[in-house]
């Protein structure tokens, strides 16, 4: 029975590590699946992790390396001998091996690659030559390809006898004499057909071919759009060079979603396993940028210091205007960033989406203007002040609708990931417009 990674189990492992009881450690982790072992290593402190790896010795499963977060993986790699890493790579699918190698510096890569057989080394080096985050890095080189004139019997015999096939596959690719893919046959169909039937007679000619340099986000989009399980990867001459499978795409989708969430929050590539120094360093630059935008908003307030001195109520109410605009803009921005990532915003519908978001901002602005205008007027027994608050609310909610949709679209047009900078620009716009509209109108109406 497979072991669950429960708190009591983790404590049992730590107790065994603290006692330096190597046999007990090996017994405890023996039933863990690869992903659970990776989670266990990520839960431990660095010194505990090192002790655990040392106690496992040659029993450490190299497959775990492809499941680890980058910072933990680098730490584990530093603890392992290059020969052990090379042995683990030789047992991995080529896509997992490339994933493991790609973030290492050139010296470490070379040291590990030199331990591999010449054929495996050449294949990995070629994959590493493709652009980062491309289909060439993502693909698996091991696949099943047969000519169309083979019959089902020949194909099944080949699958049984060949010793260089992938461990798991879903489709058989049909290729012409130049090794260009001309169709696919689901493995289940092959198993159901009579032996004399030709592969060319049962293959599907409609297929999605992935260029080897296509960005992994675009590959994921193709899988999502066409409900693919696997897809052939072709080079610039349209020859078959690899295959991308749905399990790789699940990882890409999770990785891209996590990246966007972190970027929107201004934490870059930070992970929960990073040290205090690493975390502080990664957050400081983003917080510094936010400080500059806050100073800009404060400068706007400074222009109206005399007005605020005359009516303290303005200082009480102006954060409401800015925060409502910021929250409304964040709603719009979140939808826009997600729609851009999923290709739901295209030139054909962009004007309609912009109009929709601006109208939503305007309508919400009017409704909250009525609500807060009455509340502010009654609170401070000043209907003129309530009118100023209402007008400023409409202006800032309208600006939030504009900024929330236009900023991500503009950044995307400039080739910048809208998840990276949209939040800072949006906060600046809604704060500056909110303060300026509220205090400016107050200066005109109440002075």
E strand or H helix at 175, and its extent? Answer: strand 171-175
199: helix, strand or coil: helix
CA triple 432-434-439, angle to 5 deg: 95
Residues 48 and 95 in one domain: yes
Residues 431 and 282 in one domain: yes
Residues 337 and 243 in one domain: no
Which of 235, 264, 293 lies at the terminal end of a domain, its last residue?
Answer: 264
Residue that is written with structure tokens 């893919």 in the block:
181
Confidence (pLDDT) at 346? 84
Confirm whether 442 is domain-assigned: yes
Confirm whether 355 is domain-assigned: yes
Euclidean distance between CA atoms 115 and 61, whole angstroms: 18
Number of domains in the chain: 3
Per-residue CA distances from 257 to 250, 251, 342, 412, 444 (Å): 11, 10, 11, 17, 46
pLDDT in 10s for each residue of the chain, 447 residues: 455 688 899 999 999 999 999 999 999 998 899 889 999 998 898 899 999 999 998 888 888 888 888 788 888 888 888 888 888 888 787 888 888 888 778 888 888 888 888 888 888 888 889 998 899 999 998 899 999 999 999 999 999 998 888 888 889 999 999 999 999 999 999 999 999 999 999 999 999 999 999 999 899 999 988 999 999 999 999 999 999 999 889 988 888 777 777 766 666 666 666 777 877 877 787 778 778 888 888 888 888 888 887 788 888 898 899 999 989 998 999 889 888 877 888 888 999 999 999 999 999 999 999 999 999 999 988 999 999 999 999 999 999 999 999 999 998 888 888 877 678 888 889 999 999 999 999 988 886
Confirm whether 307 is domain-assigned: yes
Euclidean distance between CA atoms 266 and 248, whole angstroms: 27
Name which of 44, 45, 38 is nearest 62 in CA terms.
Answer: 38
Confirm whether 63 is domain-assigned: yes
Residues 331 and 434 in one domain: yes
pTM, to two decimals? 0.72
Residues 114 and 152 in one domain: no
| CATH number of the domain to which 151 belongs | 3.10.580.10
Confirm whether 306 is domain-assigned: yes
Confirm whether 16 is domain-assigned: yes
181: β partners:
175
- Asked if 52 contacts 13 with a C-beta cutoff of 8 angstroms, the reply is yes
Residues 231 and 151 in one domain: yes
Residues 371 and 433 in one domain: yes
E strand or H helix at 426, and its extent? Answer: helix 418-446
Which of 107, 131, 155 lies at the terminal end of a domain, its last residue?
Answer: 131
Residue that is written with structure tokens 């909110």 in the block:
434
Name which of 226, 225, 228 is nearest 248 in CA terms.
Answer: 228
Torsion (CA) 167, 172, 177, 180 in degrees, nearest 10: -100
Residue 215's φ and ψ, nearest 5 degrees, are -65, 145
What is the number of residues in the chain?
447
Residues 286 and 247 in one domain: no
Confirm whether 138 is domain-assigned: no
Confidence (pLDDT) at 447? 65
447: helix, strand or coil: coil
Range of the domain at 88: 7-131
Residues 95 and 187 in one domain: no
Per-residue CA distances from 360 to 158, 317, 332, 380 (Å): 61, 23, 9, 29
Residues 90 and 158 in one domain: no
First to last CA, the chain: 78
Confidence (pLDDT) at 352? 92
Residues 322 and 424 in one domain: yes
The DSSP result for 336-369, as a single string, is HHHHHHTT---TTTHHHHHHHHHHHHHHHHHHHH
210: β partners:
233
Confirm whether 96 is domain-assigned: yes
The DSSP result for 51-83, as a single string, is HHHHHHGGG--GGGGGGS-HHHHHHHHHHS-HH
Share of the chain residues as helix, strand and coil, in percent rounded to the nearest 5 = 70, 5, 25
- Asked if 443 contacts 307 with a C-beta cutoff of 8 angstroms, the reply is yes
Residues 219 and 327 in one domain: no
| CATH number of the domain to which 38 belongs | 1.25.60.10
Which of 264, 290, 311 lies at the terminal end of a domain, its last residue?
Answer: 264
Name which of 51, 93, 94, 76 is nearest 85 in CA terms.
Answer: 76
């Amino acid at each position: 029975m497979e072991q669950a990674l429960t708190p009591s189990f983790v404590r049992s492992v730590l107790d065994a590590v603290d006692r330096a009881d190597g046999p007990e450690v090996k017994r405890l982790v023996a039933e863990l699946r690869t992903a659970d072992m990776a989670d266990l290593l990520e839960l431990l402190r660095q010194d505990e992790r090192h002790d655990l790896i040392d106690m496992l010795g040659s029993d450490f499963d190299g497959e775990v390396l492809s499941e680890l977060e980058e910072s933990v993986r680098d730490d584990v790699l530093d603890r392992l001998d290059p020969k052990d890493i090379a042995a683990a790579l030789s047992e991995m699918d080529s896509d997992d091996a490339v994933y493991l190698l790609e973030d290492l510096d050139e010296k470490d890569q070379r040291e590990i690659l030199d331990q591999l057989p010449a054929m495996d080394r050449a294949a990995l080096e070629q994959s590493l030559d493709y652009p980062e985050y491309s289909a060439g890095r993502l693909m698996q080189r091991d696949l099943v390809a047969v000519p169309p004139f083979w019959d089902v019997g020949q194909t099944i015999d080949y699958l049984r006898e060949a010793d260089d096939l992938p461990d798991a596959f879903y489709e058989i690719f049909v290729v012409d004499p130049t090794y260009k893919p001309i169709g696919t046959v689901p493995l289940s169909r092959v198993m159901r057909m009579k032996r004399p039937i030709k592969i060319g007679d049962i293959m599907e000619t409609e297929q999605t071919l992935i260029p080897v340099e296509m960005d992994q986000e675009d590959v994921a989009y193709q899988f999502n759009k066409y409900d693919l399980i696997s897809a052939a990867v072709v080079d610039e001459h349209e020859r078959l060079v690899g295959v991308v499978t749905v399990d790789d795409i699940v990882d890409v989708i999770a990785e891209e979603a996590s990246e966007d969430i972190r970027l929107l929050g201004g934490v870059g590539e930070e992970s929960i396993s990073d040290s205090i120094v690493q975390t502080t360093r990664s957050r400081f630059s983003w917080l510094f940028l936010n400080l500059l935008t806050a100073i800009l908003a404060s400068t706007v307030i400074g222009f109206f210091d005399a007005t605020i001195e005359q009516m303290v109520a303005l200082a009480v109410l102006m954060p409401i205007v800015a925060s409502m605009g910021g929250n409304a803009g964040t709603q719009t921005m979140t939808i826009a960033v997600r729609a851009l990532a999923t290709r739901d915003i295209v030139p054909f519908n962009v004007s309609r989406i912009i109009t929709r978001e601006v109208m939503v901002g305007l309508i919400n602005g009017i409704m909250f203007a009525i609500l807060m205008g009455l509340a502010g007027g009654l609170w401070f027994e000043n209907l003129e002040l309530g009118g100023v608050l209402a007008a400023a609310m409409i202006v800032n909610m309208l600006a939030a609708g504009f900024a929330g949709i236009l900023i991500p679209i503009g950044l995307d047009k400039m080739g910048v990931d809208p998840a990276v900078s949209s939040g800072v620009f949006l906060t600046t716009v809604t704060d500056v417009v909110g303060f300026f509209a509220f205090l400016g109108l107050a200066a005109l109406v109440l002075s």
